[in-house]
Amino acid sequence: MVNSIKQQFPIFQKNPDLVYLDSASTTQKPEVVIDSIINHYANSNANVHRGLYNLAYSADRAWQEAHETVAKYINAKSYKEIVFTRNSTESLNLLANSLALKEGDIILTTKLEHHSNLLPWLAIQEKRGVKVEFIDLLDSGEMDYDSFMDMVKKEGRNIKLLTLSHMSNVLGILNPVEKYIKVAKQIGVLTIVDAAQSIAHTSIDVQKLGCDFLVFSSHKVYGPSGVGVLYGREVLLNDLPPFLKGGEMVKNVKLSSVEWNELPWKFEAGTPAIEAGVAMAAALNWLDQEIKSVGGWEQYSRNEEALTKKALDMLSKVEGIEIVGGGDKHGVISLNIKGTHPHDIASILSDSSVCVRAGYHCAQPLHEALGLPGSVRLSLGIYNDEGDIKKFIQAVEKVAKLFR
C-alpha cells in the first residue's frame, strides 16, 4: 500500500528507506510547510509591526493571521491569548520569570517532566525561595492522583502553581490533566500544561482543558523549528509583566516611563522568526486537514494505538526486551535490551536506517525514579506505518542477537 502521507514529505521521497522513529524529538516537515517558508522569503518578506508600505503591511497581516490560526487550532478565545516564542522551553522560562511567585509559594509538578518544565522552576526555587514539590508516580509511570490530593490537603493555599506535562516524552502516556486542573481551580492554583508532546497526538482544546497557560513547539507538530507558543488566558497575560524587553513590544517609550504594547505583542520583543511563525500556521492547517481526512482525532488515536500495540506485541517476542513503564502508550515506546547500552542499540539501528533516540530524552529524573540508565525511544509521527515498525523490529532483533 502506498503511504500517501509519506509522499507529502520530501525527506521520505528522497530517502525511501529512511525509517524515522524519532518524531518526539522533532517531526519531519511536509512540502506545504517548506513551501510556505520559501514563499515567505520569495514573495512576502518584510519586518512585522513596523512598516507603512504594502509589503510590510501584508507581513503584519500574515503574522497576526498565524496567531489567529493557532488560536483557532487550540480553541483559544482570541489571537491575543497566543504569544509566539522560540519553543516550549522559552514559553516555560517566560512564565517562570514573569509569574509573581514568592518565598513560601509552592509549585507542584511531577517527576516525569522534561527538563524544560523542571529547570526553570528549580532556578526560581533557588533565587526566590519558592518550593518545588513533586507528585509521585505509580510503577507504570502514570501520575499518582492520591499523592496529588494528599499534597493539596497538606499544603492547601500555599500551592500557587501546578505545571504538568500533558504527555510524557518517554512513556507516551497521556496524563489526565483535566482532573488535576479541576482541583487546582477550586483552590485558586494557576495551571500550566506542557503540550509539547501531546500537540501532535491528540486534539488540544484549552477551554476544555481549563488550563491557565499551555505551551508547545512548532517543530514537534510538523512545523519549522525556531517558533513555539505560549497560550495564556487574556486576563492573566494582561497582568503578566513582559519577559524580554526591546523593540516591537512597546507602544510609547519615554526615558521616564514606558507603555507596553497590546497583547500578544507585549511578549514578543525583537524581530521574531517570521517565516517560521507563518509556516507553523501552515503546518497546523495542513494537520487539521489530514486529521479530518482520516476521520478525526479519535480515529487517528485509534490507528496510532493499534500501531503502538503491534510494536509492543512484536517487541514482547524478542528475548531480553524491557519496556519502560506501563500505561496506554500513544505512539511513544521506550525500551532497553538486557545487557546492552542504549547508545549501542541506537548506533546499530542506524545501520539499518532506523532513527531512534537513546539516552535520557531530557527526562533524567524520570529515568532515575524508574531505576534506569537511559533507554532507547521509538516515537511515531503521522507518516509512520506498519512497514516502519517491521523494519524497526528486525533491527532490534539483530541487536538482541548480537549481544546475547
Binding site for ligand PLP (CB under 6 A): 87-89, 114, 116-117, 165, 169, 194, 196-197, 217, 362
Q: Please tell me the distance from the alpha carbon of residue 223 to that of residue 401, in angstroms, as a whole number.
A: 38
Quick count: other Cβ atoms within 10 Å of Cβ 254?
7
Q: Among residues 107, 249, 362, 380, which one is catalytic? A: 362
152 or 221: CB nearest ligand PLP: 221
- Which of 10, 327, 359, 365: binder of other proteins (CB under 8 A)? 359
Return the one option of ligand PLP, other proteins, none that residue 197 interacts with (CB less than 5 to 8 A, by type). ligand PLP
H or E stretch including 54?
A: helix 54-73
335 or 362: CB nearest ligand PLP: 362
Q: Are strands 159-165 and 19-20 parallel, antiparallel or unpaired?
A: unpaired
Q: Please tell me the distance from the alpha carbon of residue 302 to that of residue 284, in angstroms, as a whole number.
A: 20
Q: Please tell me the distance from the alpha carbon of residue 172 to that of residue 283, in angstroms, as a whole number.
A: 22
Query: Is 371 among the residues that bind other proteins (CB under 8 A)?
Result: no
Q: Please tell me the distance from the alpha carbon of residue 177 to that of residue 215, in angstroms, as a whole number.
A: 14
214 or 400: CB nearest ligand PLP: 214
Q: Partners of 106 in the beta sheet?
A: 131, 159
CB 212 within 8 A of CB 193: no
Return the one option of other proteins, ligand PLP, none that residue 89 interacts with (CB less than 5 to 8 A, by type). ligand PLP
- Which of 51, 210, 327, 374: binder of other proteins (CB under 8 A)? 374
Site string for other proteins, 326-345 (x = CB under 8 A): -------------xxx-xx-
> Is position 362 annotated as part of the catalytic site?
yes
* Min dist. Cβ of residue 336 to other proteins (A): 13
| CA–centroid distance for 270 within its chain | 24
Quick count: other Cβ atoms within 10 Å of Cβ 144?
16
CB 379 within 8 A of CB 24: yes
- Which of 58, 64, 203, 350: binder of other proteins (CB under 8 A)? 350
CB 357 within 8 A of CB 335: no
Count of chain residues binding other proteins (CB under 8 A): 14
Return the one option of ligand PLP, other proteins, none that residue 194 interacts with (CB less than 5 to 8 A, by type). ligand PLP
- Which positions touch other proteins (CB under 8 A)? 339-341, 343-344, 347-348, 350-351, 359, 373-374, 402-403
Catalytic residue set: 362
